[in-house]
A and B are shown apart, each in its own frame.
Chain A
Amino acid sequence: MEYKDYYKVMGVGRDASADEIKRTYRKLARKYHPDVSKEKDAEEKFKDVAEAYAVLGDKEKRKAYDELGENWKQGQDFRPPPNWENQGFEFHTSGPGGGADYSDFFEELFRGMHGQAGGRARNVRMRGQDEHARIAIDLEDAFHGTTRSLSLRVHEPDAHGRLHPRNRTLNVRIPKGVRPGQHIRLAGQGSTGIGGGEPGDLLLEVSFHPHRLYNVEGRDLSLKLPVAPWEVALGATVRVPTPTGAVELKVPPGSSSGQRLRLKGRGLPGKHPGDLYARLEVVTPPAKNDEEKTFYRKMADDFDFNPRAGLGV
């Protein structure tokens, strides 16, 4: 596994004080927190920072980490020193990022052999933890339902109550009508219970991949619909794509760019299906040859039209 240089991740010196580390963590957490950050790779960066702080922000863990020595380089192949398990360190998984998905390096050093399920919990019967994960689907999947393969890393107790990481692959049925931000609850697919207790549930937060044509707003969809000037001026029936197939839409005469036309019930499916809004965007044909240029000149002469009338100039 790869060595993690937690000091480098946080950008502090090995001699940084506990206060300095806390201050730095707060600053980085605000910068990279996936719920508030606009930064690219915010989620990945925040995970690294949270893991670094879980170690450096904890007196015991920092001491243990420092004892590995300072000659290790970030990313270097790493094996824990012999007898690491018997050094007498007592680790508790709590604080920021608690229960988060940490690196193998962290797991090996701080969690693998000191799992919290051990010791006093041995004779206790406890329901397993609910686990959370995210799943991104395509817009079309919400219309038809689909099955998605999902890889998860879970922590499961062994016979001695120690927690071990395990990779799981689940084929999850995504029901029709699901919307972004909703959760799918998979009963009994969370962490294994302790002492024969029931397993927890797995909750999947659904998001949609961005779509080439449609934009999702709640249960409604919107679509940019290019139209020719004569179609908005004179009215027309135009073909509009929808996720369930193309339909004919009447553009009323005298429509204008930016106007939204509603296709009722063509949004996300459900008991109360959403609508699809087609936003008109007038596209003017380019004047490529003399004939077309003449046509535009005639329009300029024939129309008493000042598009800038509203600007007061």
Chain B
Amino acid sequence: MSERQSESVSGIVLGERETLTLESLAGLCTVETDWVVELVEYGALEPLDPTRRQWEFSAVVLKRVRTAARLRRDLELGPAGIALALDLLDEIEALRARLRAFS
């Protein structure tokens, strides 16, 4: 194991204005595109305009799909269970934020 001198790098923020194609979203999360389509079908995530033939996603869904991929890999959840878990996790996060604001 070697330790190279540290390098300085800068990147781009994948924020609300950035969009990802179905393929790039799947690629960045190391999952199959078919599985991302399944997540959309189960309502676990939404493309920006579902009526378009070429789906595009806001880059902020990256975290959601990454979490979904971990839930599938580590807990063996199916798409319906993932959709439910993600909604509940969002709700918990919102409640925790309120709790923090009031404590």
Chain A positions within 8 Å of B, measured between CB atoms, are 26, 29-30, 33, 35-36, 46, 50, 96-99, 129-130, 132, 147, 149, 164-173, 175, 177-179, 181-187, 189, 201-205, 210, 215-217, 222, 224, 270-271, 279
Contacts and interface: CB of A to CB of B under 8 A. Distances in A.
Range, interface on chain B: 35 or more
B17 A271 contact: yes
Contact of B67 (A35, A167, A189): A35
A69 B85 CA distance: 41
Given A97-B73, A169-B3, A182-B15, A130 B9 contact: no
Can you list the 8 inter-chain pairs with the closest CB atoms, starting with the nearest? A173-B10, A186-B11, A169-B6, A171-B8, A183-B14, A215-B101, A184-B11, A181-B63
B100 interface: yes
A96 B74 CA distance: 5
B89 A181 contact: no
A166 B2 contact: yes
Contacts of A203: 14, 28, 62
Contact of A149 (B6, B73, B75, B85): B6
B1 A50 contact: no
B12 to A, nearest CB: 5
Contacts of A175: 10, 12-13
A169 B1 CA distance: 13
B88 to A, nearest CB: 9
Given A147-B8, A172-B9, A183 B62 contact: yes
Contacts of B14: 182-185, 203
A35 B8 CA distance: 31
B49 interface: no
A185 B9 contact: no
Contacts of B59: 182-183
Given A178-B13, A181-B60, A29 B75 contact: yes
Contact of A215 (B4, B12, B97): B97
B10 A172 contact: yes
B86 to A, nearest CB: 9
B18 to A, nearest CB: 9
B13 A182 contact: yes
Nearest to A183: B14
Given A183-B13, A189-B11, A204-B11, 9 more contacts: A96-B73, A147-B8, A169-B4, A182-B63, A183-B14, A184-B14, A185-B11, A205-B66, A270-B15
Contact of A172 (B11, B60, B62, B66): B11
A165 to B, nearest CB: 6
B43 interface: no
